[in-house]
Amino acid sequence: MKVGFIGLGNVGGKLAGSLLRNDVDVAVFDLNTELVADFVGRGAQNGGSAAKLMQTCDVVITCLPSPAACAAVMDEMLPHVATGKVWMEMSTTDADQIKAHAEAIIAQGGEAVDCPVSGGCHRADTGNISIYAGCTRETFEKVLPVLTHMGRRILHVGDVGVSSTLKVMTNYLATINLLSLCEALTVMKAAGMDLGVTYEAIAASSGNSFVHETESQLILSGSRNVNFTLDLVQKDVGLFQKLADDHHVPLELSPLMISMLTDGQKRFGEKAQSDRMIERLEEATELDITAPGFPTELVDDEPEMRGYEVPVRR
């Protein structure tokens, strides 16, 4: 099976790298020609364009930064979709847009999979990230071998669009966890607590989380570089808020988060790293929320292994 990969950014480049590392036949395309050249130097083929990849590959994967980018690529690919071609969307984007694109692909005889990832760039880099897949069961069986080279835990969630809805929710939860950790660490510092001890106390408690075990370390080391920027966080929380609005659910935390994130963007830049939200509180309190001994970048210490389908409780 020949795989085309479009979008070699922070996440896409790592996912495509996992395919290449596991000897999958991969052709790549990105508007950044330097990224393409790097992959070609490592053994990938230069895909040339989105249109050409759809013409020459069995499966085309897209991992793009925005719904607008996804729409532009789809416009190029769609005329070349034919029976048996599979489009896999690994971006975090609007579920309605995904469904509309999938319907257009299927109308021309192709197949579509909505398969965003969750777990951080460090796990995308080792093939240990989690993947949600929304598609028919038949299509899922077809693409599962490809997915298991990119992710550890693969969850078939149902129809196209379900994955994107779930992914927006998980990013919302991760963001609110990050903001609450910023407040918790700052209050502990103000109260005179040792932040190394504080980190371990949280990690050993019912207040522990994936976000704490990853992003708190980057906050405390001072690097504040999780490879996920505030514009992307705003996009995801905004999509969650839109979902709530569409279904008439009156939220209180989500609008407050959007306001806080907007303030962070005004202070630090539209594309500032999301962990820099701690600096709002550092500025307000004149406290230094750092501690010795924490890493400046995240490394996945789990050994790479072939992924597997996660069973769903029925």
* Domain-located, residue 297: no
* Domain-located, residue 53: yes
**Which residue reads 């210490």 in tokens?**
301
16 and 108 housed in the same domain: yes
* Domain-located, residue 275: yes
237 and 184 housed in the same domain: yes
Q: What is the pLDDT of residue 134?
A: 96
User: Residue 200: which CATH number?
Assistant: 1.10.1040.10
Cα 302 to Cα 58: distance, rounded to the nearest angstrom: 31
Note the pTM of the prediction, 2 decimals: 0.89
45 and 121 housed in the same domain: yes
pLDDT band, residue 270 (cuts 50/70/90): very high
Number of structural domains (the chain) is 2
Domain limits for position 21: 2-162+302-309
* Domain-located, residue 143: yes
Mean pLDDT of the chain: 95
Instruction: Say whether 288 sits in a helix, a strand or coil.
Output: coil
**Furthest-apart CA pair in the chain: how many Å?**
65
90 and 117 housed in the same domain: yes
Which DSSP symbol is given to 313? P
43 and 137 housed in the same domain: yes
Phi/psi of residue 65, each to 5°?
-80, -10
pLDDT at residue 303 above 90? no
User: Residue 132: which CATH number?
Assistant: 3.40.50.720
184 and 134 housed in the same domain: no
79 and 120 housed in the same domain: yes
Average pLDDT rounded to a whole number, residues 159-186: 95
Q: What would the two tokens of residue 268 be?
A: 């630090």
115 and 20 housed in the same domain: yes
* Domain-located, residue 50: yes
19 and 158 housed in the same domain: yes
- With 0-12 / 13-18 / 19 or more C-beta atoms within 10 angstroms meaning exposed / middle / buried, residue 106 is middle
* Domain-located, residue 153: yes
181 and 222 housed in the same domain: yes
Instruction: Identify which has the larger pLDDT, 45 or 124.
Output: 45
Percentage of the chain surpassing pLDDT 70? 100
31 and 157 housed in the same domain: yes
pLDDT at residue 299 above 90? no
9 and 94 housed in the same domain: yes
Average pLDDT rounded to a whole number, residues 203-216: 97
Cα 28 to Cα 36: distance, rounded to the nearest angstrom: 7
pLDDT band, residue 313 (cuts 50/70/90): confident
* Domain-located, residue 105: yes
Cα 106 to Cα 102: distance, rounded to the nearest angstrom: 6
pLDDT at residue 94 above 80? no
* Domain-located, residue 293: no
